[in-house]
Structures are given as structure tokens and as C-alpha cells.
Homo-oligomer: A and B are copies of this chain.
Amino acid sequence: MKDRKELTGEQIVVKVGDLKIGGNNPPVIIAGPCAVESRQQVMETALALKEISIDILRGGVFKPRTSPYSFQGLGLEGLKYLKEAGEKIKVPVITELMDEKNLEAVVEYSDIIQIGSRNMYNYSLLKEIGRIDKPVLLKRGMSASIKEWIMAAEYIAAYGNKNIILCERGIRTFEVYTRNTLDLAAVPIMKGETGLPVIVDPSHGTGRRELILPMSKAALACGANGLMIEVHIDPQKALSDGQQSITPEQYKKIFLEVKKSYFKL
């Protein structure tokens, strides 16, 4: 990969407000619902998570769904709810951006911009993200090679923005027991190759809630700089990804066990 000019392995620490991600900083946890479904739902979830512990609140308002007839997210309205919930519990928020036309709104309301798996190859969008200086979380494409993922990050960096957090979320393989195959070797590889912080999403990475705890431990053990976990106050009623979402109660158990082993107390 002789093509790289910006991301060559030198360690980069990304700052989100007072929070530092990467390097020797303790791992962060991003938690929240797959989708913002209502003001009440995101606020309740946020308050429940605040009580346990959370570093960044997540919530999708623009949803890239396989079917055009599935719930597509609340849009701008949801974005405001998410921001309000984040301010209430005093943590930064992250949401996914799917296109340039919503860039301004997302930049205004969200502290981190997420580029989802389906847009990792959307080079036009990556260039736009490169032109601003907001932190961006770049998920690996569902069948993106290590090389392609590195170069997608390089696109953002080449256009001027190095505030990049990478997120391994599982790759597509023949295996059907899990939704995706979580490729944890990507954690040390991507940290070494790019110098960027790498977090892991065990919710999408496995698609099964009983695997979130063991995979969270494994992720941190091999050097992940954080975790991204889907939490819903009522997973049975979730408008998307209910099967892999956990309740705040379940999140608490995971957090405590993970904390015990790996976090500075």
C-alpha cells in the first residue's frame, strides 16, 4: 500500500470534547439504540445508560434499510431528540450520515459523524467528510478488505480530516450462525497500519446478544480502543435490530464484567 501519504502508522488520538480516544487512553463505550424511535425512547435509554456508565450516546436517525418499505428513521426530528438526550446526560452523541445533503444538519447536532458499512465505498461522501474537521467514525464495509478500509480512511485524511475512528463490525462470510463474522485480527492490524483508534461493534459483528459479552472482552484484550453496543429499553419492540439489542439491565452486567477485567477502576 505504497499509496498512503497521511495514515502511515503514526499514532493519532481523536478528541471528542474532553474525551480522548486512542493511544493509551482507556477504552470508551458508545451505547444506545439502533434507531431513535421517539423522544421518549431515546431519553429513557439515555437516562438508564447514564446511571450505569456511558461515554458516547448513539442513535440512528437516517437508517440505511434493505427494504424501502422499512422504517427509514426520524430524520432531522430524531437528530434533535438525540442531541437533547446527549445534553441531558452530558455525553457527546454520534449518528450516521448517509448523504451530503444532510451533512450540515449532522455536523450541527452530532459530535461524531458515523459513516456506515454501506457507505464505506461512497467516495464522494468521504471527500466531503474530509473537508470538515468533525470526528468521524468509519465502519468497515461489509466485505471490505483491510486494504480497501485503509484507503477509505486515507480518502478522508487526504482531504484534510484526520479525526478518524475506525470501527470493525464484522464481515460477510459463508457462516450463517452469526449475522457477520467479527474479524478481531483487524484490530491490531488497523491500529498498526494506520495509527488510528479502532473500536469494535459486537452487536452487528455477531447479531446475537449472548455473544456481546465474550466478544467485548476479546475485543478489548486484543487492543480495541472502545466498544459500540446497541441498547434498547424494550428490544422486543425495537423497530430495527431487536435481536441483537440488549436492555440497560443486560448492558449493566456486561459493563461491570468488562470493567472488572480491563478498565482502570
B-binding residues in A (CB < 8 A): 3, 5, 62, 64-70, 98-101, 117-119, 121-125, 127, 142-143, 145-148, 151, 154-155, 158-159, 171-178, 181-185, 187-189, 192, 205-206, 210-211, 214-215, 217-223, 261
Contact = CB atoms under 8 A, between A and B. Distances in A.
A214 B223 contact: yes
B66 A151 contact: yes
Nearest to A177: B146
17 contacts: A3-B67, A5-B69, A66-B148, A69-B158, A98-B124, A99-B125, A100-B101, A118-B122, A122-B122, A142-B143, A143-B172, A171-B174, A172-B174, A178-B189, A185-B206, A188-B210, A214-B221
A251 B147 CA distance: 29
3 shortest A-B CB distances, which residue pairs? A118-B121, A143-B143, A221-B221
Contact of A185 (B69, B154, B211): B211
A158 B118 CA distance: 20
Contacts of A65: 123
Contacts of A64: 121, 123
Contacts of A182: 183-185
A261 B219 CA distance: 14
Report how many copies the assembly holds.
4
B68 A158 contact: yes
A65 B134 CA distance: 24
A181 B142 CA distance: 14
A171 B185 CA distance: 12
B154 A174 contact: no
Contacts of A218: 184, 218-219, 221-222
Contacts of A172: 143, 174
Contacts of A67: 3, 151, 154
A145 B180 CA distance: 13
A159 B123 CA distance: 24
Nearest to A211: B185
| Most B CB within 10 A of own CB, among A171, A189, A214 | A214
A175 B182 CA distance: 13
